[in-house]
Structure 1
Amino acid sequence: MRIAVIGGGPGGLYFAYLWKRRHPDAVVELFEQNPANATWGFGVVFSDQALEFLRADDPDTVEAIAPKMESWRNITLNLRGESVEIDGVGFSSIGRLTLLSLLQERVRAVGVTPQFDKAIQSVDALQGYDLIVAADGLNSLVRRTFEGDFGTSLSYSSNKFAWYGTSKRFETLSQTFVKTERGAFNAHHYRYSPTMSTFLVECDRATWHAYGFAGKDAEHSKAVCEEVFAETLGGQPLISNKSVWRNFPWIWNEHWSFRNMVLIGDALHSAHFSIGSGTRLAIEDAIALTKALETEAHVSTALARYEAERKPIVKKLVTASRTSADWYEKFPEHMKADLMDFAFSYITRSGRIDDARLRTMSPNFMAGYEASRSKS
């Protein structure tokens, strides 16, 4: 089989690696429009559950990336100068560029040479392939060319966010909520290496307008965020990497393939950063697509199988992601609550965690929460 993979992010690299490792005689060509060492953002997060899923299918890859990961067991919430930890929530993080470099090494080791700085300008340039895997992200050329056939829908969250880094080290995945005279901000921050952390700043649209961010360049916006979160940053500056204000895009495709083209990762669906599942979903898409292609004799029936088996799983996670994002759309209102009520609302926001599960998962937090409720 001759396969073209468009996009050198985690999903595209991982599919190319999986297929070539299992089918050494296959021709797999991977095209990425950016240089090998270019990436947007800083760290990416995997839940313990996501890592175990990957370990079950490909323990060697997990063993390769695990030494480069930072891990923690708790989430810390900071509100009005107070903090609370929610125990038993296991996550690991890794620098996005580090992850890409490790996956590039694995792709090369199985005989695929990624073609970087190779932008595909038209789907017409992809003639002669049995399968085209579109792993080319939110702005996917393949999806945009045939969006009517894929049944594409696109909308945006109203909140604004900017994705920074910092050399300030945070011991856990943390959220800091700050009220100012002109509005409310939230920062999602966590370390992804011994010396670096992700620091994603979010605010609602009213706050964004009140601060005049529409008229500020990236450097001035960064300076405002450094001032708002000066205490959290402990005097450390924020680091930019294409760190401009954005609205989160919601992408969904009702049809996952068209002709011999199939979508995976962000080209296919987006999941809000508040549940940290974008990279996980892309890698799991690659696994599911590989298994479907190995099960069915024909590409067309394999692509139908991939969608039928994977879609309900993804839809469930994306629904939880939207519910989580809805909570953040109203986070200035949630900030008015007592700290423990606020924390309970936060950890149950996606609808996937109820009281019973929380008592098992986070016994220390639940003991404190229920004690606070008994006093009120």
Structure 2
Amino acid sequence: MKRISVIGGGPGGLYFAYLWKSRHPQDSVTVFEQNARDATFGFGVVFSDRAMDFLQAGDPETADQITARMEAWSNLSLVHRGEKVEIDGVGFSAIGRLDLLLLIQQRARDAGVELKFDTHLGSVDDIPQSDVIVAADGVNSLVRRTFEGDFQTSVSYLDEKFAWFGTTKTFDTLTQTFVASKYGTFNAHHYRYSPTMSTFIVECDRKSWIGAGFDQLDPEASRARCHEIFAHTLDGHDLIANNSTWRNFPWIWNDRWSFKNMVLTGDALRTAHYSIGSGTRLALEDAIALADALDAHGGDITAAFAAYEAKRRPIVEKLVRAAKSSAAWYEHFPEHMKLHPLDMAYSYITRSARIDDQRLHEMSPHFMGRYESERPKAAE
């Protein structure tokens, strides 16, 4: 390899660039990012418990730098009908997305990667001649959209709506708060990612979205209405917008992962619903697997891309299946809200079909003890 172009300066693209340049200092590695160096759309990035183990094993220095900036907790909470149910043993950690980006940018810069920010590529013809083009440019990937037929791309959308906010209210754990309001039913995913800030994702079914007037409100009025709906949860704190537009979650899948000298990674390759907190981890794991495959196969790019796909596809397919099960639960959360808080919490934690009662007893003994002792009373 001599010249590698990485399209997209998110965590996955930056991390691949850093890995390759640090292993092959003689190669030219350039990252093209359309936004400014210190711009990001979103707030915190959440990782499930032990999700950083893969990074610690191969790159402890970077892993230590990231974990030192993380907020961590060992329980998950669900709030329904004003009652808070804690599920022990379900740990998560979070870091500000901008903090993560700046950290990996510095790692890449120190390794000698050329970082080109504020660089808009109008077409793939604007990409300099390269031996390898890594498409790490997310949901709206230029590379993928240009060659959708060759990548065998499929895209579909969930009917539910969501908007990504932040807040100065910090929360003890990752929490799911469900609210029945005069407009309809709403859910908020919220978690702290710094000592002073939290992510606050609001979602609802289409009927509630229209009932609240979100189809007609401007961004500021929309933010204010979300604040109104979750006023008790926010407890006097602000709800902060940052490109916080209402969206439908896109399911993106590509049956072919590479074409010619181009290869897809991260959200350009496939999406995993935000409710399982794995998007950034998947992108970083893609970066490692791709770098390892290119290393193992030297100048044979076709073989390297095939090895990358062979290693990652079974893992990704399993996780996407779990993500779809999780998303299906959220699709019907207004129905789940008819349940008692304990029953709803049990339904929630078992939604992806990866956790059964035996595993719940092992990882969440306090929750299961309460569930089994109080549930008969709740059913009366």
Report the TM range for the smaller structure's normalisation: over 0.9
Task: Tell me if 1:326 matches 2:328.
Answer: yes
Amino acid at match of 1:122: S
AA matched with 1:368: R
Query: In structure 2, what residue type is equivalent to 1:200?
Result: I
Say whether residues 1:371 and 2:373 are aligned partners: yes
Q: Give the aligned partner of residue 96 of structure 2.
A: 95
Please give the secondary structure, in 2, of the residue aligned with 1:158.
coil
- The residue number in structure 1 matching 2:139 is 138
For residues 311 and 204 of structure 1, what CA distance do their matches in structure 2 show? 31
- Counterpart of 2:244 in structure 1: which amino acid? S
Q: Which amino acid aligns with 1:160?
A: K
Other structure's SS at 1:87 match: strand
Q: Which amino acid is the alignment partner of residue 38 of structure 2?
A: N
What is the DSSP-based 3-state SS (H/G/I as helix, E as strand, rest coil) of the residue aligned with 2:90? coil
* Alpha-carbon distance in 1 for matches of 2:127, 2:114: 17
The Cα shift of 1:3 comes to 0.4
Deviation at 1:48, TM superposition (A): 2.3
**Alignment-derived partner of residue 28 in structure 1:** 29
Task: Report the CA distance between 1:370 and its aligned residue.
Answer: 1.3
Aligned to 2:161: 160
What is the CA–CA distance in structure 2 between the aligned matches of 1:183 and 1:314, rounded to whole Å? Answer: 35
Query: 2: CA distance between counterparts of 1:145 and 1:49?
Result: 37
Q: Which residue of 2 aligns with 1:278?
A: 279
Q: 2:307 aligns with which of 299, 305, 308?
A: 305
- The match for 2:84 is 83
Query: What SS does the corresponding residue of 1:215 show, helix, strand or coil?
Result: coil
CA distance in 2, matches of 1:52, 1:119: 35
Taking the aligned partners of 2:154 and 2:361, their CA distance within structure 1 comes to: 38
String of CA shifts for 1:77-124, please: whole Å, max 9, x gaps.
111111110001111100000000000010011011210011121112
1:347 aligns with one of 342, 349, 362: 349
Moved over 4 A (4+): none
Letter in 1 for 2:247: R
Counterpart residue number, 1:220: 221
1:283-317 C-alpha deviation (Å, 9 max, x unpaired): 01001101111111311100011111101100110
1:125 aligns with 2:126: yes
* C-alpha separation in 1, matches of 2:340 and 2:306: 49
- SS of 2:47's equivalent in the other structure is strand
Identity of aligned residues (%): 64
CA drift at 1:372: 2.4
In 1: Cα distance, 2:192 partner to 2:331 partner: 25
- 2:115 is the alignment partner of 1:105: no
User: 1:19 corresponds to which residue?
Assistant: 20
- Give the Cα separation in 2 of the matches to 1:182 and 1:5: 45
Mapped partners of 2:70, 2:247: distance in 1 = 27
Superposition deviation, residue 209 in structure 1: 1.1
Determine helix, strand or coil for the equivalent of 2:354.
coil
Partner of 2:189: 188
Query: 2:38 & 2:151 partners in 1: Cα distance?
Result: 31
After superposition, give the CA deviation of every residue in 1:301-350 in whole Å (9 maximum; x if it has no partner). Answer: 00011111101100110110011000001000001001111000000111
Distance 1:167 1:215 in 2: 27
Q: Secondary structure at the match of 1:84?
A: strand
Q: Which residue is 2:150 aligned to?
A: 149
Q: In the alignment, which residue of structure 1 is the partner of 2:201?
A: 200
Secondary structure of the 2:329 match is helix
AA aligned opposite 1:6: I
Tell me the CA shift for residue 127 of structure 1: 4.6
After superposition, what is the alpha-carbon deviation per residue over 1:3-44, rounded to whole angstroms, capped at 9, x for unaligned? Answer: 000000001000000111111111111110110011110000
* Distance in 2 (alpha carbons) for counterparts of 1:136 and 1:268: 9
Which residue identity does 1:317 align to in structure 2? L
- Separation (CA, whole Å) in 1 of partners of 2:370 and 2:264: 45
Instruction: Give TM-score scaled by structure 2 length.
Output: 0.97
Distance apart, 1:374 and its partner CA:
4.3
Letter in 2 for 1:255: R
